[in-house]
Structure 1
Amino acid sequence: MNFLFLITGLLFIYILGWLLSYDRKHIRYRSIVVLFSLQMIISFLCLHTSAGIQTLKGISSFFNWLMVQADGGVQFVFGGIVIGKNTSVFFLNVLMPIVFISALVGILNYIRILPIVIKWTGWLLNKVTGMGELESYFAVSTAILGEPEVFLTIKNKIPQLSAQRLYTICASAMSAVSAALLASYMKMIPGKFVVVAVFLNILSVLLISCIVNPYVPTNDDDLAKIGIEDQKQPFFQVLGNYIQDGFKLAITVAAMLIGFVALVTFLNNSFLAIIHVSFTTIIGNVFSPIAWIMGVPMKDISEVGSIMATKLITNEFAAMGTLHQVSAHLSMKSIAITSTYLVSFANFGTVGIITGSIRSISEKQGALVARTSLKLLLGATMASILTGTIVGFWF
């Protein structure tokens, strides 16, 4: 049965990608096979071997440890606030640690550890998949730095990029997540699924690009000249910048959650008053067939479909919060599929962020991204569906 749903998920993705494709005659089937094979190998090693399971536990434990360290700073600033017994405050416990993780990312970037890891991992990915030097570099770097910061690493390249290459890097930015957010995600969903999703999403978005946006990549990029040149600034200035960026990110996420969750609450109450069916139930029914195609058990498809739609309309944090609340009623297979589907930035709000980021670098390229924004969102969402489908195969 698992194999059957793997096939249905892959067929759904291929058919939808074929319908959206810019060039159906030149879909890159060889690269698709290579990327999919890598995903199956990685997911098997991570989820079905003792070494892989222990590695994921170790990574999860490390990020949990980081959250404990971050709590020192949070408690120093907010410790005098009395909220209530056994009450967890999302802003303090989940969002504020982003400031500390962002500082660590800044330090690792300043001492050139992250640039070396990104460069050589991207080089290896390109050699194996043939997806292009810049595309492979960007796919790896966006999974660490996140957007919009990752666009600064190739700001000199963006004005010269073709429409095809621009689509691929923007889709990568929507499909990956910032390393600064991983620990916060792990507070709401199992850490092993967060880590697996990060690995698979790098490949998923490249695979989708082979269908929706096929082209022969060029390898004339001087990767030695790209990257955020923080080492030219004093260390504490760089550290302060990353700390401020982390705080701004936490505030931005909080504002988005307040606005979107309140909007969904308003729509739920409005729909209930008019037609006696909540808004989330309606959108859940729309996404339920997709959840079933991915392999979600029939009893869970309505609830999972609603969570999937919530992520698309609001953001991953709002959807993860809902999943955390209802996970006791879902099967492990449903939790695995839904959790990995949620670990990406594929939502309507991110479209605006990416368009604005590109426009700030190149007005012309920003206008091009704006014209293809819906197809970008669909491509990134398809990448999340592919990741969830592959993980569901192993449960």
Structure 2
Amino acid sequence: MFILLAWLVSENRRRIPWRIIGAGLAVQLALAGLFLTIPAARQAFLQLNAVVEALETATRAGTTFVFGYLGGGTLPFAEPAPGAAYVFAFRGLPIILVMSALSAALFHLGVLQRVVQLFSLLLRKTLGIGGALGLGTAANIFMGMIEAPLFVRPYLGAMRRNELFALMTAGMATIAGTMLVLYAGILSPVLPDALGHILVASILSAPAAILIAAVMVPADPDAPVTDGVMHAPAEAAGLMDAVCQGTAQGLSLFLHVAASLVVLVALVALVNEGLDLLPDVAGQPLTLQRMFGVLLAPLAWCMGVPWSECHTAGQLLGVKVALNEFIAYMNMAALPADALSAKSRVVLTYAMCGFANFGSLGIMVGGLGSLLPERRAEIAALGLRSILAGMLATCMTGSVAGVFLP
């Protein structure tokens, strides 16, 4: 159903990427079977998140020094609820600076080029995509939608339209590893093994994102994939110069992302204020979240949620799209125990595990537009489509998870 929906809004419905559809489904089902039926496999993969935790810890050391408790230092007061003291501007965004500097250093040392070549070899034979897109997609499993493209920044300018859209969709369909512990803390009271489920959801959504993106924006079969072709950055005089150049570029990206995020979230709030002038519907004010909830209830049913629970599930999905997954998870954790069945809660955990929302659109357009100013108009044109593609990918992941859950 979700592949069909993607095909209905495709730019070219005559060009159907059968190979990627078949391979993407096979990879997603195989990974779901591995991680959802063999607990040891999930625990082994969970160890890879230690790398992300190390980056987050290192970044927090810097933000704590500069911003104090706002940047993650010891709080001078008791935190009223999990995540209440998390200030995104001082905790989430600064990792962009670290990743930008790190990717510049890795490129200067020649490490990044070798990794791209490795992913090219592995992914060309399975999903038929190039190493640059493969590495960017894999990085999205653990990193954010802007931090991940920094791994392949020298290759971004040479990416074809379909590859750029696939990278954007992967960013919308996954979450940053730095958010795993935060979301797990919110859901753990109502969802056993919450951290494992959220990590597996991000993993499963990566091949789903490639599949859905390939259906919505098909590739030109005669055009080569992006592997070794790249727009090289200015040559650095040494490793420290590369780090300084990366930091400067990261600062520009940081400011673009922060400004775009403020504007997009404000626009959603402004629309809700306008809708508040209309008469109440079913005894409650009309909001974007409620409107999306009605529209998305059938998607919840397609994922296997019983129809009696689809109204509640649709509202959670609506909150996730109109606002973000953080608020949606908090709302689900606050629901009465009988509002959703245990299986529905797990399916929705998978379906909401992605950045596909209007706030993220600001991050995506502002961030990638800063990295690729010459393609800003193209990125903006693909922005809304990437939200839809990311949503379809995570819903597909929810469906697949439901197949393997008791």
When the two chains are superposed, the root-mean-square deviation of aligned CA atoms in Å is 4.4
Return the alpha-carbon distance in structure 2 between the equivalents of residues 178 and 332 of structure 1.
25
More off after superposition, 316-325 vs 100-109: 100-109
Residue 13 (structure 2) aligns with: 24
Higher relative contact order (CA 8 A, sep 6+): 1
Q: Identity percentage over the alignment? A: 21
Return the alpha-carbon distance in structure 1 between the equivalents of residues 233 and 269 of structure 2.
39
Residue 212 (structure 2) aligns with: 208
Residue 80 (structure 2) aligns with: 87
Q: 1:325 aligns with which of 308, 317, 334?
A: 334
Q: Residue 118 of structure 1: CA displacement?
A: 6.8
Over residues 86-140 of structure 1, what are the superposed CA-to-partner deviations in whole Å (9 max), with x where a residue is unaligned?
8226342585765898799689868859957676356423332212233222211
Q: Residue 293 of structure 1: CA displacement?
A: 0.9
Return the alpha-carbon distance in structure 2 between the equivalents of residues 333 and 257 of structure 1.
33
More off after superposition, 49-58 vs 233-242: 233-242
Quickly say closer, same or farther: Cα 1:268–1:92, change in 2 above 3 A.
farther
Instruction: Show structure 1 runs of 5+ residues with no match.
Output: 1-11
Q: 1:46 aligns with which of 20, 24, 35?
A: 35
Q: Residue 188 of structure 1: CA displacement?
A: 2.4
Instruction: Show structure 2 runs of 5+ residues with no match.
Output: 188-193
- TM-score by length of structure 1 reads 0.76
Return the alpha-carbon distance in structure 1 between the equivalents of residues 177 and 123 of structure 2.
19
1:277 pairs with 2:284:
yes
Return the alpha-carbon distance in structure 2 between the equivalents of residues 262 and 207 of structure 1.
33
Return the alpha-carbon distance in structure 2 between the equivalents of residues 262 and 271 of structure 1.
15
Return the alpha-carbon distance in structure 2 between the equivalents of residues 32 and 164 of structure 1.
15
The answer on whether the counterparts of 1:355 and 1:366 sit within 8 Å (CA) in structure 2 is yes
Quickly say closer, same or farther: Cα 1:322–1:207, change in 2 above 3 A.
same
Aligned amino acid, residue 207 of structure 2: L
Quickly say closer, same or farther: Cα 1:167–1:228, change in 2 above 3 A.
farther
Q: Residue 388 of structure 1: CA displacement?
A: 1.3
Residue 388 (structure 1) aligns with: 398
Over residues 204-256 of structure 1, what are the superposed CA-to-partner deviations in whole Å (9 max), with x where a residue is unaligned?
11111232122236246217987999982279969998999999899889969
Return the alpha-carbon distance in structure 2 between the equivalents of residues 76 and 335 of structure 1.
37
Quickly say closer, same or farther: Cα 1:65–1:235, change in 2 above 3 A.
closer
Residue 134 (structure 1) aligns with: 132
5 Å-filtered alignment, 1:1-20, equals 12-20=1-9
Residue 170 (structure 1) aligns with: 168
Residue 191 (structure 1) aligns with: 195
Quickly say closer, same or farther: Cα 1:248–1:344, change in 2 above 3 A.
farther
Report which of the two has the higher share of helix.
1
The answer on whether the counterparts of 2:350 and 2:398 sit within 8 Å (CA) in structure 1 is yes
- TM-score by length of structure 2 reads 0.74
1:218 pairs with 2:224:
yes
Return the alpha-carbon distance in structure 1 between the equivalents of residues 259 and 333 of structure 2.
22
